[in-house]
Amino acid sequence: MLLDAVEQRFGPDIELSGVGVDAYWDVDLRTAFELREDPAPGIDVGQSGDDIAELNALLRRPTDDVPVLWHDLQHLAGALRLLAYLDLPASGAGES
């Protein structure tokens, strides 16, 4: 249902070079789920372009290749967050 809504909103192909964003703050999985006093060491920069490239590589892997879930799902999450970002209302328009 959500991916159908994405396709309705953005079309079947999204040209990422035209969205104007690539880098984003990324919170390491351990930092995100093992709450500590100072999360700063677990925060780095991710790239949407890298996420998409990794997902495309995943699609080209042999069918018997076992996915590395912690790695591959992080790239999927990055791509999904980009889609969510692209759908945000304009600044100041009832953000939450």
pLDDT, tens digit, for every residue of 8-37?
999 998 887 678 889 999 999 999 999 988
Which string of DSSP letters, residue by residue, matches 28-43? -HHHHHS--S--GGGE
pLDDT at residue number 59: 94
Instruction: pLDDT band for 96, please (50, 70, 90 cuts).
Output: low
Degrees (nearest 5) of the Cα angle 72, 77, 79?
100
pLDDT at residue number 91: 78
64 or 93, greater pLDDT: 64
What is the reported pTM?
0.84
Convert the pLDDT of each residue in 69-87 to its tens digit.
Answer: 999 999 999 999 999 999 9
Burial of 82 (0-12, 13-18, 19+ CB in 10 A): buried
